[in-house]
Amino acid sequence: MEFVTYEVEGMVGIITINRPKALNALNSAVLDELNEAFDAVDVNTIRAIILTGAGEKSFVAGADIGEMSTLTKAEGEAFGKKGNDVFRKIETFPIPVIAAVNGFALGGGCEISMSCDIRICSENAVFGQPEVGLGITPGFGGTQRLARTVGVGMAKQMIYTARNIKADEAFRIGLVNAVYPQEELMDAAKKLASTIAKNAPIAVRNCKKAINDGLQVDMDKAIVIEEKLFGDCFETEDQKAGMGNFLEKDKEKKLKVVPFQNK
Ligand code: DAK
C-alpha cells in the first residue's frame, strides 16, 4: 500500500495514514487503502487498533480538496459513500479503535477521528469542520457524529462558524479524552490499547456493540440489547477464566494477563 501502513505490536494493531506531503488528506486511494488495512486486521489475535497520521504536523487535514474540486454531483455522492463506508467500518469494527490525533484533524480528519471509539491528541492538535467555508456540508458524518459527541449546541456552533479549536478546547468540550505532548502521544495510545487488550476480548467487543447499538434506540430497547450481549458472555472461556480467577482468590493469578480465548 502506498498511503497507509499497518504494523502489529503484540495484541495491538497500528494503522497510519501516510501521505504527509498533503498533510494526510483523504483522497480515493487513501480511503481504499484504509479499507484494505482494516480488512487485513486479524481480529482473532488483535484486540485494539490505534489509528494515527504520519509526521508531526497533521493527523488528517480533511478530504482531498484538489480531488473534490472537480467532482460532478454523481461523483461527489460516490466519494461520500466511499468515505462513509470506511468510517462506518471503523465505527462498527468488532474491536476498539483509538484515534491518536497528532496534529490537524479538519473536516474529514475530525470526522474519521469521531468514527473511532476513543480520541486522544497531542498538544498541537487542531480540530474543526471547515466545510461551510468551502461551500459544502460535512460529508463524512460530521453533522451526525459531532452532535452525538459534544452535544447539539456546541456541534452547531463549530459547524456553522467553521471555527477551528485547539487541543485544550477539544478536551474541555469532550471531543478528546486526553491531551499529551507530541512525543508522548503514541506511548499513551499504546498504553491505553494494551490496557484494553488485557481484558476479556468477547466482553470488550460486546460492550462496544452494546454502547453503539444502544445509542440508536430508546432506553427500553437499549436495555434489551445489553441483556442479550451480557448473556452472550456466559459459557465463554473468557467468563469462566475471569470469574474463576477471582473466586480462587489467587492474587498472583488474578493480576496476571489471562489468556482469554476468542469464541
Ligand atoms: N486536501 C488536499 N491537500 C491539502 C489539504 C486538503 N484537505 N490540506 C493540506 N493540503 C496540502 C496543501 O495543498 C499543501 O500542498 P502543497 O502546496 O505543498 O503541494 C500541503 O498539504 C501543505 O499544506 P499548507 O501549505 O497549506 O500547510 P499550512 O501549514 O500552511 O496549513 C492547514 C495547514 C491544515 C491549515 C491548511 O493546509 C488547510 O487549511 N488545509 C485545508 C483544511 C481543510 O479545509 N480541510 C477540510 C477539507 S473539507 C463530502 C465528503 C467529504 C467531505 C465533504 C463532503 N460529500 C461527498 C458530501 C469532507 C470535506 C472536507 O474534509
Query: What local confidence, expressed as pLDDT, does residue 143 receive?
Result: 96
From 36, 67, 131, 227, active-site residue: 131
What's the CA-to-centroid distance between 61 and ligand 1, angstroms?
5
Superfamily covering domain 4-197: 2-enoyl-CoA Hydratase; Chain A, domain 1 (3.90.226.10)
**What is the pTM assigned to this prediction?**
0.95
If you average pLDDT over every residue of the chain, what do you get?
A: 93
| Residue whose CA lies nearest to ligand 1 atom number 4 | 22
Q: Is the pLDDT of residue 260 over 70?
A: no
**Ligand 1 contact via 136 beta carbon (within 6 Å):** yes
Domain spans, the chain: 4-197, 201-255
**Ligand 1 contact via 48 beta carbon (within 6 Å):** no
Average pLDDT of 83-99?
A: 98
Query: What local confidence, expressed as pLDDT, does residue 251 receive?
Result: 53
Reported as a single tens digit per residue, the pLDDT across 37-88 is: 999 999 999 999 999 999 999 999 999 999 999 999 999 889 989 999 999 9
C-alpha cell at 162: 467553521
**Ligand 1 contact via 22 beta carbon (within 6 Å):** yes
Q: Which fold has domain 201-255?
A: Lyase 2-enoyl-coa Hydratase; Chain  A, domain 2 (1.10.12)
Query: What local confidence, expressed as pLDDT, does residue 262 receive?
Result: 47
What's the CA-to-centroid distance between 35 and ligand 1, angstroms?
21
Query: What local confidence, expressed as pLDDT, does residue 100 receive?
Result: 99
Average pLDDT of 240-249?
A: 86
Reported as a single tens digit per residue, the pLDDT across 13-41 is: 999 999 999 999 999 999 999 999 999 99
Q: Is the pLDDT of residue 255 over 80?
A: no
Reported as a single tens digit per residue, the pLDDT across 114-152 is: 999 999 999 999 999 999 999 999 989 999 999 999 999
Task: Quote the radius of gyration of the chain (alpha carbons, Å).
Answer: 19
Query: What local confidence, expressed as pLDDT, does residue 249 receive?
Result: 78
**67 included as an active-site residue:** no
**131 included as an active-site residue:** yes
